[in-house]
C-alpha cells in the first residue's frame, strides 16, 4: 500500500510535458519505528459525536494517516473529572446482571448506533493497514481521589457535584466496580473481535484507590488473557505498581508500558535529561525506574503534543528524526502523538455547538484536521524512515505554495516548530505547565512577571532558571547549563530568522498566494513574535529576581522596562492573529489565577485577552515601584545589571568517542578531547544509571599526557547492573563561559551506553 501511494504521489509531482512516471523511483524501505500512533480524545460529547458519526470525515482522516504512514489510531475514552464515557461501556451497551448501571438518556437504539459506528471505524482503520486501539482511562466516574470520595458519599458537602448529568454514567460504585468491569470488558472484546489493542490508565486518577488496584488489575488482566490472548494491552506507567507489572508478566499477558515522554507537553526531542525534582522520585512521567533488566516488557513512548501544539501549525523533519531515534530506547515499541486540536471543547458544555477554528473568510479546507497535513506527514514519514528524501514534503509545499515561495515557507515552518518545545523546556511553569488541561504555551503568557520569574522549565539539567542567573550575577559562581541570557538570544535570533523568511515568501509568492498561504503565514508570524516575546521577557524575569534578591529599585525599573518591551511583541502576536482565528478558541477550561502557585490563565479565548492580562500585570509592577519608594540606608545592596550575551556562537571544540562494549560490573573509563580559545578551566563528567529517579553524580576530569585530553573513571560500584549507563560532560573556560556536551541544539544531549548482558 505504501509503495502504491508513493507512486501515486510521484505521478502528481510530474509537470507539464513530463512523463507521468518521470518522478517515480525504485527504492526499498522498511519501518524504523514499528508503531506510529496518533490519539484522539472524547473530551466533549458534542464535538466527539460531530466526528464520530461522520463516515466521510474518517475516510479523509484515515486516508491522510495511511498516506503519511501513521499506522495506529488510538481513541481515548474517559479523561478528567467531568466524567463523559467514564467508564465507556454504557455508551455502547448494557451489561446483563447490572441493571443499575447506565448512561441517562441513552436509548438502546443510540447504544447500537454508537457500537456500529465504532465497529465501522475499526474496520475502516484496518482496511488501510492502521491498527485500532481503545483507551479506557476511567473505570469509575471521577479522575481524582476527591471525586471518588464524592462518588461514594464520603464528603456530603460536595453533594451537588455527584448529581448525574446526561453525559455521565450512573450506578458504578465500590461494591460492583470490579465485577461490572470484568463483565463489561469481556462483552466489549467479544463484540469487537477485530480490536487490536486496549490502553488502560492504572492509578488513582482512573477512579481506583491504591488498595483496589492490587485486586482489580490481576483480575482484569487474567480475564483479557482468557478472552483474547493476543490482544495488546498498553498499561500506563503513572502510578503503575511493581506487583501489577509482575502479575502481567506471570500471566504471560501481551502488554507493554506506555509513559509520558515529556510531561503532558511537547518538549525537546529527547527524553528529559533530568525531570523536575518534585516528580523525580515517582512514576509520573518519563521512564522513571522502569528500564530495568532483564527486560520483560517493552516501552511505548507517548508524546503529549496536544498540550502544546493545539491550534498552530507545526512541522520539522529534524525534530521528528531526533525524537523517533530516541524512541528506540529500551528497544521501544514505537511512539504515540496527540492529534492537532486534541483538546478542542474540553471542559465546555456537552451540548454546546463546536466552534470553528478559523473565521469563514479564511477557511480553505473541508475538515479542520486537513490544515495540519505537515504534522501528519513529518511524524509519519520520518517515523517510518528517518532517511526519507526531502522531495517527499518539498513537492507538497511546491504544489500548495508555488515553486518560489515553497522553500521559504518550509524553512520558516521548520524553524518555528522548535519555539514551542523550547518554551516548554526552559521557560514554562512546571506546576501549571505540566498538565495538558492547564499549560498552553501557544497562548499563555505563563503568569504575571513575578510568577514567570520563578519558573524553572522542565529539564533542570540543561537549563538554568531565571533565579539561578540572578543569583550567579550577584554572588558569582559558574554554571555550564544554558543560562537564560543565552536562551534569550536564541529566541531573538530565531524570531529574526523566521521574520526574514516570511518577508521573502510574501515578496515572491505572486499568483500562488491563496488562503492556505495566508493561514500558514499568520501562524508563522504568531510564532515569530511569541519567540520575540520570550526573548524580551527573560531579561525582565532575571531583573525582577535581581530586585527581589537585593531590594535595589534600579533592578525593578529594569524589569519594568524589559516587560514593557515584551508586551510590544505580544501586541504583534495579536495583530498577526487579527480576525483570522475565532475570538474564543475553546481548547479547555476558562480558569484564571486562583492559585498563585499554578498561575494559570485558562485554555480558551484569544491572544488579545492575554494582552489585557499582560497590561494589568505591568500596571501592578509600576504600582510596586511606587510603593517601594526610596530605600532606607542598609536595607538593600546594589544589584548587578542583566548581562545580554554577545558571544552566543562561542564554541568549545570537543571530540569524543562514546563508550562502547560496557560489561556489567565493569568500571567505565571516559576520555574527551576539548579545547577553547580562552583555555579550559575545568571538565566534569556527569553520570548515572538510566533511571530518572536517581540524581547525577559527577567526577572531576583530569588532563592526560595527550594534548587537550581529559580523563575520568566511573567506579564499577557506582553502576547498577540492572540498568544501562548514561553520561554527559560539563566544560568551563577561563572567562566563565560554560557548555554542556553533547549539544542539545544538535543532538541528544547525553550518551546512553547499553551494557553487554
pLDDT in tens, 101-130: 999 889 999 999 999 999 999 999 999 999
pTM of model > 0.85: yes
The CA-based diameter of the chain, rounded to the nearest angstrom, is: 85
Which residues neighbour 273 within 8 Å (Cβ) at sequence distance 6 or greater?
Answer: 459, 461, 462, 728, 749, 750
| Mean pLDDT, residues 648-667 | 89
Neighbours of 229 (CB within 10 A): 10
Which residues neighbour 300 within 8 Å (Cβ) at sequence distance 6 or greater?
Answer: 35, 234, 256, 257, 258, 259, 332, 333, 334, 335, 336
14-28, 564-578, 718-732: which range is least confident on average?
14-28
Tell me whether residue 353 is exposed, middle or buried, using C-beta atoms within 10 angstroms of its C-beta: 0 to 12, 13 to 18, 19 or more.
exposed
Q: Which three cell numbers stand for residue 524?
A: 508563522
Quick check: 148 pLDDT over 60? no
75-79, 183-187, 494-498, 500-504: which range is least confident on average?
75-79
| Mean pLDDT, residues 164-177 | 86
**Which residues sit opposite 171 in a β-bridge?**
none
Res. 157 pLDDT band, cuts 50 70 90: very low
Task: Give the model's pLDDT for residue 383.
Answer: 97
Q: What's the Cα-to-Cα distance from 77 to each of 42, 90, 180, rounded to whole Å?
A: 6, 12, 17
Task: Give the model's pLDDT for residue 164.
Answer: 62
Q: Which three cell numbers stand for residue 117?
A: 459506528
Domains of the chain, first to last:
2-12+35-399 (3.20.20.80), 413-628 (no CATH), 653-756 (2.60.40.10)
Q: For residue 294, is the peptide bond before it cis, meaning its omega torsion is within 30 degrees of 0?
A: yes
Residue 217 CA to residue 201 CA, distance in Å, equals: 11
At CA 333, angle to CA 332 and CA 338, rounded to 5? 105
Helix (H) or strand (E) holding 138: none
Task: Give the model's pLDDT for residue 147.
Answer: 45
Task: Give the model's pLDDT for residue 459.
Answer: 96
Quick check: 633 pLDDT over 80? no
Task: Give the model's pLDDT for residue 649.
Answer: 62
Neighbours of 293 (CB within 10 A): 16
Give the SS3 label for residue 365: coil
Mean residue pLDDT of the chain comes to: 93
227-259 confidence digits (pLDDT tens):
999 999 999 999 999 999 999 999 999 999 999
513-553 confidence digits (pLDDT tens):
999 999 999 999 999 999 999 999 999 999 999 999 999 99
Task: Give the model's pLDDT for residue 598.
Answer: 45
Res. 293 pLDDT band, cuts 50 70 90: very high
Task: Give the model's pLDDT for residue 350.
Answer: 93
DSSP H helices, 166-286, are 177-191, 210-227, 242-250
Higher pLDDT among residues 560 and 142, named by residue: 560
Residue 297 CA to residue 690 CA, distance in Å, equals: 16
| Mean pLDDT, residues 409-417 | 98
Task: Give the model's pLDDT for residue 648.
Answer: 57
Res. 596 pLDDT band, cuts 50 70 90: very low
Give the SS3 label for residue 705: coil
* DSSP tag of 536: H
| Mean pLDDT, residues 687-691 | 98
**Residue carrying C-alpha cell 510574501:** 506
359-396 confidence digits (pLDDT tens):
999 999 999 999 999 999 999 999 999 999 999 999 99
SS (H, E, C) 145-171: HHHHHHHCCCCHHHHHHHCCCCCECEC
134-143, 401-410, 578-587: which range is least confident on average?
134-143
204-229 confidence digits (pLDDT tens):
889 898 889 999 999 999 999 999 99
Task: Give the model's pLDDT for residue 528.
Answer: 98
Are the C-beta atoms of 551 and 545 separated by less than 8 Å? no
Residue 555 CA to residue 28 CA, distance in Å, equals: 61
Quick check: 151 pLDDT over 80? no
Give the SS3 label for residue 8: helix
DSSP H helices, 601-652, are 607-628
Tell me whether residue 547 is exposed, middle or buried, using C-beta atoms within 10 angstroms of its C-beta: 0 to 12, 13 to 18, 19 or more.
buried
Amino acid at each position: 500500500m505504501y509503495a502504491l501511494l508513493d507512486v501515486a504521489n510521484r505521478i502528481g509531482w510530474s509537470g507539464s510535458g513530463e512523463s507521468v512516471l518521470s518522478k517515480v523511483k525504485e527504492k526499498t524501505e522498511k519501518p524504523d519505528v514499528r508503531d506510529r500512533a496518533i490519539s484522539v480524545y472524547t473530551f466533549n460529547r458534542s464535538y466527539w459525536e460531530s466526528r464520530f458519526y461522520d463516515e466521510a470525515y474518517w475516510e479523509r482522516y484515515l486516508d491522510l494517516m495511511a498516506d503519511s504512514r501513521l499506522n495506529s489510531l488510538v481513541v481515548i475514552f474517559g479523561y478528567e473529572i467531568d466524567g463523559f464515557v467514564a467508564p465507556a461501556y454504557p455508551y455502547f451497551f448494557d451489561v446483563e446482571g447490572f441493571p443499575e448501571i447506565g448512561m441517562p438518556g441513552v436509548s438502546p437504539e443510540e447504544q447500537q448506533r454508537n457500537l456500529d459506528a465504532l465497529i465501522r471505524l475499526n474496520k475502516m482503520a484496518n482496511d488501510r493497514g492502521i491498527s485500532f486501539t481503545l483507551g479506557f482511562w476511567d473505570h469509575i466516574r471521577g479522575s481524582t481521589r476527591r471525586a471518588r470520595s464524592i462518588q461514594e458519599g464520603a464528603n456530603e458537602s460536595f453533594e451537588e457535584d455527584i448529581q448525574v448529568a446526561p453525559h455521565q454514567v450512573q450506578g458504578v460504585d465500590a461494591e460492583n466496580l470490579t465485577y461490572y468491569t470484568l463483565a463489561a470488558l469481556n462483552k466489549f472484546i467479544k463484540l469487537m473481535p477485530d480490536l487490536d489493542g486496549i490502553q488502560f490508565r492504572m492509578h488513582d486518577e482512573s477512579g481506583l484507590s491504591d488498595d483496589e488496584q492490587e485486586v482489580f488489575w490481576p483480575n482484569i488482566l487474567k480475564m483479557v488473557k482468557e478472552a483474547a490472548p493476543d490482544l495488546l494491552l498498553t498499561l500506563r506507567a503513572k502510578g503503575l505498581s511493581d506487583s501489577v507489572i509482575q502479575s502481567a508478566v506471570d500471566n504471560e499477558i501481551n502488554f507493554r508500558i506506555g509513559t509520558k515522554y515529556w510531561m503532558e507537553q511537547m518538549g525537546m526531542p529527547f527524553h528529559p535529561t533530568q525531570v523536575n525534582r518534585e516528580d523525580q522520585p515517582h512514576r509520573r512521567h518519563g521512564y522513571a525506574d522502569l528500564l530495568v533488566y532483564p527486560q520483560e516488557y517493552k516501552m511505548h513512548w507517548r508524546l503529549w503534543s496536544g498540550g502544546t501544539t493545539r491550534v498552530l501549525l507545526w512541522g520539522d523533519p529534524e525534530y521528528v528524526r531526533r525524537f523517533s531515534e530516541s524512541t528506540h530506547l529500551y528497544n521501544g515499541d514505537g511512539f504515540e502523538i496527540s492529534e492537532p486540536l486534541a483538546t478542542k471543547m474540553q471542559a465546555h458544555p456537552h451540548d454546546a455547538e463546536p466552534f470553528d477554528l478559523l473565521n469563514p473568510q479564511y477557511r480553505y479546507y473541508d475538515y479542520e484536521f486537513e490544515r495540519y497535513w505537515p504534522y501528519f506527514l513529518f511524524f509519519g514519514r520520518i517515523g517510518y524512515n528517518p532517511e526519507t528524501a526531502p522531495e517527499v514534503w518539498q513537492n507538497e509545499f511546491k504544489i500548495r505554495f508555488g515553486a518560489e515561495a515553497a522553500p521559504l515557507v518550509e524553512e520558516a515552518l521548520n524553524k518555528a516548530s522548535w519555539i514551542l518545545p523550547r518554551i516548554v523546556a526552559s521557560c514554562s511553569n512546571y506546576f501549571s505547565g505540566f498538565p495538558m488541561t492547564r499549560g498552553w504555551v501557544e497562548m499563555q503568557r505563563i503568569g504575571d512577571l513575578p510568577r514567570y520569574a520563578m519558573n524553572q522549565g522542565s529539564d533542570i539539567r540543561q537549563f538554568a532558571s531565571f533565579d539561578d542567573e540572578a543569583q550567579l550575577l550577584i554572588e558569582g559562581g559558574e554554571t555550564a547549563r544554558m543560562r537564560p541570557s543565552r536562551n534569550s538570544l536564541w529566541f531573538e535570533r530565531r524570531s529574526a530568522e523566521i521574520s526574514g523568511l516570511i518577508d521573502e515568501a510574501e515578496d515572491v509568492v505572486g499568483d500562488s498566494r491563496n488562503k492556505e498561504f495566508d493561514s500558514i503565514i499568520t501562524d508563522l508570524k504568531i510564532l515569530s513574535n511569541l519567540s520575540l516575546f520570550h526573548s524580551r521577557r527573560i531579561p525582565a524575569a532575571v531583573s525582577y529576581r535581581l530586585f527581589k534578591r537585593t531590594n535595589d529599585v534600579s533592578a525593578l525599573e529594569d524589569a519594568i522596562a524589559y516587560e514593557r518591551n515584551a508586551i510590544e511583541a505580544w501586541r504583534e502576536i495579536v495583530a498577526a492573529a487579527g480576525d483570522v482565528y475565532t475570538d474564543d478558541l475553546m481548547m479547555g477550561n476558562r480558569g484564571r489565577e486562583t492559585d498563585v502557585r499554578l498561575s494559570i490563565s485558562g485554555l480558551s479565548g484569544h491572544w488579545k485577552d492575554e494582552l489585557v492580562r499582560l497590561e494589568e500585570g505591568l500596571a501592578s509592577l509600576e504600582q510596586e515601584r511606587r510603593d517601594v519608594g526610596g530605600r532606607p540606608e542598609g536595607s538593600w545592596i546594589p544589584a548587578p545589571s542583566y548581562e545580554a550575551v554577545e558571544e552566543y556562537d562561542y564554541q568549545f571544540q570537543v571530540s569524543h568517542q562514546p563508550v562502547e562494549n560496557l560489561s556489567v560490573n565493569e568500571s567505565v573509563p571516559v576520555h574527551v578531547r576539548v579545547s577553547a580559545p580562552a583555555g579550559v578551566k575545568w571538565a566534569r563528567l556527569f553520570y548515572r544509571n538510566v533511571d530518572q529517579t536517581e540524581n547525577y553524580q559527577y567526577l572531576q576530569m583530569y588532563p592526560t599526557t595527550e594534548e587537550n585530553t581529559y580523563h575520568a573513571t566511573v567506579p564499577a560500584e557506582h553502576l547498577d547492573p540492572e540498568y544501562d549507563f548514561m553520561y554527559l560532560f560539563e566544560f568551563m573556560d577561563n572567562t566563565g563561559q560554560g557548555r554542556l556536551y553533547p549539544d542539545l541544539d544538535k543532538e541528544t544531549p547525553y550518551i546512553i551506553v547499553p551494557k553487554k548482558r
